[in-house]
Amino acid sequence: MRRPSTLGRRLFLGGLGAAGVGAVPLLRSLESTSKAATGFPKRLVIWFTPNGSVPEEWFPKSGGETDFVLGRILKPLEDAGFRDKLLVMGGLDMKSTQSGPGDGHQVGMGHMLTGTALLDGDVKGGCDTCPAAGLAGGISVDQRVANQIGNETPFRSLELGIRADRNSENAWTRMSYRGSNQALPPEVDPNQAFARVFGDVDVDPAERAKQEAMRKSVIDSVKQDFGSFESRLSSDDKKRLESHYEGVLSIEKRLGLVGAGCEKPVLGAPLQNPRSQDNIREVADRQIEVATMAMACDLTRVVSFQWSNSVGDNLLSFLNANGTPIADGHHSISHLDDQTAAREQLIVINQWYATKLAELLTAMDRVVEGDGTMLSNSAVIWVNELAEGGPHNHSNMPFLIAGNAGGAFRTGRYVTLNKQPYNNKYDWKGVPHNNLWVSVCQAYGIDTNTFGDPNFCTGAIPELT
Amino acid sequence: MRWMWCVVLGWSLSLAGCVGLVGGGDGGSTGPENGRVVQGIAVGEGFLRRLTRAQYEHAVGDLFDRSFELRARLPGDDTTLGFDLGKNISQAHVEAYFVAAEAVAAEVTEDLDALLGCGATPDRDCVGAFADDFGRRAFRRPLSGDERSRLLGLYDAGLGSYGAREGVEMLIVGALTSPHFLYIAELDPTNARAGDVLRLSSYEVATRLAFLLWDSGPDNELLDAAANDELASDDGILIQANRMLEDDRSRRGFRAFYDQWLQLQNLASLEKQDAPEFAGAMAADMASSFAAFIDEIVWEQNGGMHELLSSKLAYVPSSLATVYEVSVDDGAMMRMESVPNRIGLLTQPAILALTSKSAGSDPIHRGKFVRERVLCDVLTPPPPNLKIEFPEKTPGVSTRERFAQHRSDPSCNGCHRLIDPVGFGFENYDGLGNFRTVDNDADVDASGEVVDADLTPDDATGAFDGVEGLANLLKDSAKVRDCMTTQYFRYAFARGEGDADEATMKELRSARDAADGSITGMLAGVVTTDAFLHRKVGPREDQP
């Protein structure tokens, strides 16, 4: 048999993204709601790490709203100079996880950004009494915001993964949803993400123009073929085909947005295996670079980082805890969090994730926008599918906001949202996390007082603004 | 009838102008046919299947009689029960389809004469003939008049602005990014009612035959058979199916099944802590060695589960000579009638490495593999609050002993009494598939047992010694045979078997039994089952 062709380089050129020149972000005329007070666009970044955290080192150890003393896990953020840009929230509960099917990890991951019950499905979780689950039952907050602020950029949003599972699609592996049952897969190879977003530096402008013109004609033409499917599909299939059609329109919209300016990151040669444990740090660094530049160039305003998956078992053997390298996967360790040695390992792991977050914030803070930086025009929100790994609980979640989204949030603060103390790890004494997403929607100009399942939402959180 | 697509896509109104469409331009025999509703036949409900990554790669390759490496360019497929669905669709998919199609079109138009056979400067009639032939194979039915004009319109546009090559490129991209190519478009008649069971049209049957048996689109001969309505009868279908099974593409088609059934897709991304040479080359050789074994058993020996589990045959590439403890010329793949300490697919290095940890063997993974993939038992994942602690690796303590906690802890024992004693039977093989009698300075104990899973007596239970003992226990088991047909059903129809599929499951089993349990008998049998020839209309928006 003839050797399979890997296809010439020429036509993978360009990806579908825009590319350009200079280092000044594009500015287009925007509705005021999606613009920060400075006139620069607002961005939203979601930063997910799995398996819960360690509350006594996550939440501030002492002090009050502004004179709080950070624990070991968040300390790297302070050390990197971001104390004033943090809004640490105590007393957020993922109350909606009480409804619908799924095990602790499934509901955590699926409700985290949607605040909505999972659909029934055929994936049985690790819990005898939990009904088998499908995907999430509603739009995730990043996509809700992307619908508002992402329509004028070439990419409405970017979903980036670091050792996330791109292939298996289920409630454990997906967090971002266009709508009910419509999961968005994370791109796990930074060089593929780069090719998609930035195309190829060597593309000759005339060649690019030709490619775009050809693509535009094809898109115009191919759209017609969707017509013969109309009224001849089940309602589920129709929704899927509509997503497909929407994807075609989105590519079309992106054509012609090329030309203005920003600088492409230089990533280095593609990684042989971006899924490899050994490459985890390199993949993370590259994804951070792609994301930062994509936002700086205004190619997108909404990015999510998905570290592994819920139940992610990253083996972070380059970290030392208790004087020895960590020898087990993160998820395996998280089940043993009632033991001193394992708890120490979990603190070290979560602290390392904070270090990486600090690197993202630093990169965003380096992009000067008017009197501020890109970070001050953004909110970067750290989320987790569990509060703690052992109990698999969903109350008093380790969530925080960094950056104030152009003045929408008051940062440099630690706010305690629960009015009464928690009696145990499963107590629902806090405010529903759906309320946080209402506040976030409002910060991006969305006129709403509810998000996700309205039974678990009582409106925006006044303490945040 | 004229209508506007963007009316349906309400939320995209602001993004694009409306596309006016002339209805009824779907071509072929997929048009509204009230007569296709049948009574008295029950089948489960399917969905509009997108080509999986593998199907896309094969179908595009076959269209141009070449092979391309495309699947790595596409986002992953969603799965159910371990089988690829082709149900998820995202922006990333849509983009990848454009990029891949443009790359393919550029490559195949490098020599326009070779592609079209019209000389260096094709005239429009010749391009028209290409559009008819290529279009029919891409859409798996003749193009409608509108579709033909659309594709030739792209050619004209490219020709007008750039040249003939660009015109043909645009025509090809315009076909490969169409939903008629990207989906197995079995469309409802316009007056369909939810729950109706429809007999497939001849072209739909041709398409299902090709994707099931070849993991690709139909060839001209199959489309001709559909055009002549030869696929309306079981006999006509079997003539084509038998022709297709004689073709080498059916090996590729069956491989798509067992790659998913036995999870071999995961082999490529596997790493082994103490064997850097494993990732990539060695893993690929294990997969080739496995494929050669399956190919001979299934396609040359006409074997079934009995042979797959108990044959001593092995194909040994030189890179696995050490694993097999034989000597092989460098770069060669040696066929051996029998190899010491090896039996059937369960001792294939591909399977042993796949079901192991990055360092060391993994009795639990191996036991689970046999339970779920070979016996079709349903296992529940561990409860979320469980504390799993493995003792440190200490000299003189075997893997088996280290994993013994499951058996003593009552909260684990429920499932692990099913899993572990099966997996312990594999302890003669390390994480790379090497045979061993000593593990971590302790003698290997490879005795095992298949414990009855559900209190319903079956013929796949009992004590055994080593994988040879396990293979002998399972090779003639009806439970094992039936599990294989069940797995094939899940693969073929991209869904779990439901009550409505009972008749089809029976047909599958009897086709297999009538062919002495052979896999090829089962493959020929599936194409005349109720589920293969029919589909059920799903809930529709217009019928709340």
Q: Are A296 and A290 in contact (CB under 8 A)?
A: no
For chain B, how big is the Rg over CA atoms in Å?
26
Predicted pLDDT at B105? 97
Predicted pLDDT at B118? 86
Given an 8 Å threshold on Cβ–Cβ distance, is A223 in contact with B5? yes
Give the pLDDT band (50/70/90) at residue A79.
very high
Q: Are A47 and A360 in contact (CB under 8 A)?
A: yes
Nearest CA in chain B to A391: B385
Give the pLDDT band (50/70/90) at residue A98.
very high
pLDDT, tens digit, 9 for 90 and up, residues B14-46: 333 333 323 333 333 444 344 589 999 999 999
Question: Which of B77, B89, B185 has its CB closest to that of A240?
Answer: B89
Predicted pLDDT at A260? 34
Nearest CA in chain B to A16: B95
Question: Which of A12, A168, A276 has its CB closest to that of B79?
Answer: A168
Cα angle B269, B270, B273 (rounded to 5 degrees) comes to 135
pLDDT, tens digit, 9 for 90 and up, residues A189-200: 998 898 888 874
* Position A16 pLDDT exceeds 60: no
Give the pLDDT band (50/70/90) at residue B399.
confident
> Considering only CA atoms, which of A280, A313, A332, A275 is closest in space to residue B271?
A275
Predicted pLDDT at B388? 58
pLDDT, tens digit, 9 for 90 and up, residues B206-232: 999 999 999 999 999 999 999 999 999
Question: Which of A170, A187, A273 has its CB closest to that of B269?
Answer: A273
Provide mean pLDDT across the span A146-167.
Answer: 90
What DSSP designation does A131 have?
A: P
Higher local confidence (pLDDT), B191 or B427: B427
Residue identified by tokens 């399917």 is: B46
Nearest CA in chain A to B153: A221
Given an 8 Å threshold on Cβ–Cβ distance, is A11 in contact with B107? yes
Cβ contacts of A168 on chain B, cutoff 8 Å: 76, 78-79
Predicted pLDDT at B470? 98
- Helix, strand, coil shares of chain B as percentages rounded to 5? 55, 10, 40
The type of residue at A123 is V
pLDDT, tens digit, 9 for 90 and up, residues B477-489: 999 999 999 999 9
Q: How many CA atoms, within 13 angstroms, populate the side-chain half-sphere of residue A262?
A: 28
Cβ contacts of B18 on chain A, cutoff 8 Å: none
pTM of the predicted model as reported, rounded to 2 decimal places: 0.77
The CA distance from B331 to B319, in Å, is 8
Question: Which of A8, A248, A272 has its CB closest to that of B94?
Answer: A248
pLDDT, tens digit, 9 for 90 and up, residues A408-456: 999 999 999 999 999 999 999 999 999 999 999 999 999 999 999 999 9
Mean per-residue pLDDT of chain A: 86
CB within 8 A of B503, min separation 6: which ones?
B41, B42, B529, B530
Residue A134, H or E segment = strand A133-136
Given an 8 Å threshold on Cβ–Cβ distance, is A2 in contact with B189? no
Give the pLDDT band (50/70/90) at residue B389.
low
ipTM: 0.89
The CA distance from A146 to B428, in Å, is 55
Q: How far is B87 from chain A (nearest CA, A)?
A: 8
Q: What is the number of residues in chain A?
A: 465
The CA distance from A139 to A116, in Å, is 8
pLDDT, tens digit, 9 for 90 and up, residues B427-438: 999 999 999 999
CB within 8 A of B86, min separation 6: which ones?
B49, B50, B51, B52, B55, B77, B78, B494
Predicted pLDDT at A21? 28
Predicted pLDDT at B407? 65
Given an 8 Å threshold on Cβ–Cβ distance, is B173 in contact with A276? no
Question: Which of A5, A214, A227 has its CB closest to that of B166?
Answer: A214
Predicted pLDDT at A5? 62
Given an 8 Å threshold on Cβ–Cβ distance, is B107 in contact with A7? yes
Cβ contacts of A233 on chain B, cutoff 8 Å: 48, 187-188, 540
Strand A118-123 with A133-136, pairing? antiparallel
Predicted pLDDT at A153? 83
Q: Are A110 and A118 in contact (CB under 8 A)?
A: yes
| CB pairs < 8 Å spanning A and B | 260
* Position A358 pLDDT exceeds 60: yes
Given an 8 Å threshold on Cβ–Cβ distance, is A217 in contact with B158? yes
Given an 8 Å threshold on Cβ–Cβ distance, is B384 in contact with A185? no
Nearest 10 degrees: Cα torsion B263, B264, B268, B272: 80
Helix (H, G, I), strand (E, B) or coil at A12: helix
- Helix, strand, coil shares of chain A as percentages rounded to 5? 35, 15, 50
Mean per-residue pLDDT of chain B: 88
The CA distance from B452 to B152, in Å, is 63
